[in-house]
Amino acid sequence: MLFDTHAHYDDEKFDADRGELLAKMRAAGVGLIVDPASDIASAKKAQAIAREYDFVLFAAGVHPHEAAGAAEAYLEELRALAADPKCVAVGEIGLDYHYDFSPRDVQRRVYGEQLRLARELDKPVIVHEREAVADNLDILKAHPGVRGVIHCYSGSWETAKILLDMGFYLGFTGVVTFKNARRVLEVVEKMPLERMVIETDSPYMAPVPHRGERNSSLFVHLVAEKIAEIRGMSAGDVARVTWENGKRLFDLS
């Protein structure tokens, strides 16, 4: 079975056919999905989906894009959501200096507050980082004891080594199938297999040959197949190992 560790089924792009789509997952070999939130409203929607489907779990957090809009009491709201047994992580959280939808100082403050919350709750984090490598490493180093995954990893092998040394898992999306993926494939090739998880980041990041389409967990096997090709293993073995890794990452028995 495949574990899609990052798919936004709370996104409105799934409103028209969410139930129909999720009903196809088991038969397609997708056995577990984590739906990470982008803000409090999206966390509540992800929670409702997780309550309806036993194979869907969710994470509660405020994405850097939404950091400036976080209400005064957002940490209290996250604490309440995290008490749900289906809430497996604080996420997604982090820094995005590509879009800068929230001022950078606000992004850093909200990220730090949520890292401290994760440590307090003893939950893993799901980290989003774009064009903010140095600040991300600084903030993570300032919060020892925080564990989790760097999602949609597309950075260098040098940065990957630092994150792996800190104990983080790395999540890989359909980006590994893109033509310009040489840098990320170096990481896929060299990193320890036991720290690798797979994801779709649906509805975004659809792998080749579906690039540009709405993505879903039905395409996560394409990520496993590309990794299998790079590592010289069978896709079944990649599925099995990343399934176990995902369960360890999110404390699932």
Beta strands 196-198; 87-96: pairing state: unpaired
Question: The tokens of 169 are what?
Answer: 């898992």
- State the minimum distance, in angstroms, from the CB of residue 128 to Zn ion: 6
| Structure token pair of residue 120 | 């307090």
Kind and range of the H or E element at 189? helix 182-190
Type of residue at 30: V
Burial class (CB in 10 A: 0-12, 13-18, 19+), 153: buried
Binding footprint of Zn ion, residue count (CB under 5 A): 1
Could you tell me the smallest distance in angstroms from the CB atom of residue 92 to Zn ion?
5
**Residue with smaller CB distance to Zn ion, 7 or 227:** 7
* Closest to Zn ion by CB, 129 or 201: 201
Which residue stretch of 113-121, 135-143, 193-201, 224-232 sits at the interface with Zn ion (rule: CB under 5 A)? 193-201
Cβ-based burial of 109 (10 A; exposed 0-12, middle 13-18, buried ≥19): middle
Instruction: Compute the least distance from the CB of residue 8 to Zn ion, in Å.
Output: 6
Query: Among 44, 84, 82, 38, which residue's Cα sits nearest to residue 61?
Result: 38
Of the candidate spans 27-35, 154-162, 198-206, 207-215, the one that interacts with Zn ion by CB under 5 A turns out to be 198-206
Return the range that interacts with Zn ion (CB under 5 A); candidates 77-85, 176-184, 195-203, 242-250: 195-203
Cα dihedral across residues 163, 6, 99, 121: positive or negative: negative
Letter for the amino acid at 251?
Answer: D
Residue (96 or 201) nearer to Zn ion, CB: 201
Cβ closer to Zn ion: 177 or 200? 200
In the complex, the smallest distance separating the C-beta of residue 200 from Zn ion, rounded to whole angstroms, is 9
Of the candidate spans 68-76, 139-147, 200-208, 244-252, the one that interacts with Zn ion by CB under 5 A turns out to be 200-208
> Looking up tokens 């993505």, which residue turns up?
215
- Which of residues 133 and 228 has its CB atom nearest to Zn ion in the complex? 133
Binding mask 75-114 for Zn ion (x = CB under 5 A): ----------------------------------------
Residues in the chain: 253
Query: Minimum Å distance from CB 72 to Zn ion?
Result: 25
CA-based end-to-end distance of the chain:
15
Helices (H), 63-177: 74-82, 104-121, 133-141, 157-165
Q: Cβ 152 to Zn ion, closest distance in Å?
A: 7
Nearest distance from C-beta of residue 201 to Zn ion, angstroms:
5
Query: Where do contacts with Zn ion occur on this chain (CB under 5 A)?
Result: 201
